A = this chain, B = another copy of it.
Amino acid sequence: MKKALAFDIGGTKIYYTIIDESGSIIDDITKNSTPKTLEGIIDILKTAISKYTEVDVIAIATAGAVNNQNTRVISSTGNLPDGYRNIDFQSLTDKKVFLENDANAAAWAEHIIGSSKDCSDSIMLTLGTGVGGGIILNNKLFKGKSGAAGEMHFKMFPDKRRKCTCGSWDCFEAYASGTGLKRTAEEISGNINITTYDVIDGVKLGCPEMTKIFNLWQNHITQGIIGLANIFDPDCFVLSGSMAEFVDIQKIENEVNNEIVTTPTSIRKGCAGNYSGMIGVALLALDEVK
């Protein structure tokens, strides 16, 4: 069975391990903090590549949009160092290197071995500090003209209320993310030191104000999914990421199916785990060297 050396390069951590064609992780996972310099990132990649000489392909899940040739990062990448998008990853090794956006890769993992494996058309939303999106149409990853499709930056309001990390205003990400929950909590409580944990804990304790904040946040997620369901008419949505564990999947599914004009869809939690980005990009990369 062929094997990939798979990386997950994020703004705070870089992970790597070995993954086989079944999507199984077959070695320890090495974890590093993301270096502040390009050279530091390249050093981690080179160290791993020289350690694992027996693999068939190098698979990299990364923050930022990746081009349709799966060779380069093409859009801004949050906390990663300047020039990250200029890295020529293929120059690091003679083996094939295959890149994919981390949310796209995670959506692929759910599609092949996870919650959406019975669906030809699915949309994954990663609810974490931000919101990632991955769209599978007709059993293929949907990438758009440049590779950047699936950015969940559609508007929740048309009239400039909350600045989004993307530079625009009122994107789904600015409301449906963990950061969005904190901002909703700040606005309602008037307390700028309130945290997402305060809200989640307050809900568990039955606090009416925290429950109101939480419900507003969950409604933002629901309203966004209604729009995506009407646009895509997908078989299912997969919610993953650290914030997904708190949402009431059944309530969201009921509300979505009550409001959409398309046929009923299914809302599910992701089950491919915290390393789904590495698993997904490994499966995509191994397909390329079959």
Contacts and interface: CB of A to CB of B under 8 A. Distances in A.
B158 A261 contact: no
Contact of A230 (B154, B156, B261): B154
Interface string A179-209: 0000000000000000000000000000000
A224 interface: yes
Contact of A231 (B149, B175, B220, B259): B149
B149 A233 contact: yes
Contacts of A14: none
A261 B172 CA distance: 13
Interface of A is mostly: loop
Nearest to A220: B158
Contact of A261 (B137, B143, B153, B263): B153
Contacts of A289: none
Q: Which of A154, A224, A230 has its CB near the most chain B CB atoms (within 10 A)?
A: A230
A226 B144 contact: no
A193 to B, nearest CB: 26
A122 to B, nearest CB: 10
A143 to B, nearest CB: 7
Taking the full assembly, how many copies of this chain does it contain? Answer: 2
A166 B261 contact: yes
A168 interface: yes
Nearest to A135: B231
Interface in A64-107: 65, 74-76
A259 B158 contact: no
Contact of A148 (B147, B168, B223, B263): B263
A261 B235 CA distance: 27
Given A75-B261, A144-B233, A158-B224, 5 more contacts: A75-B262, A120-B145, A135-B231, A153-B230, A168-B259
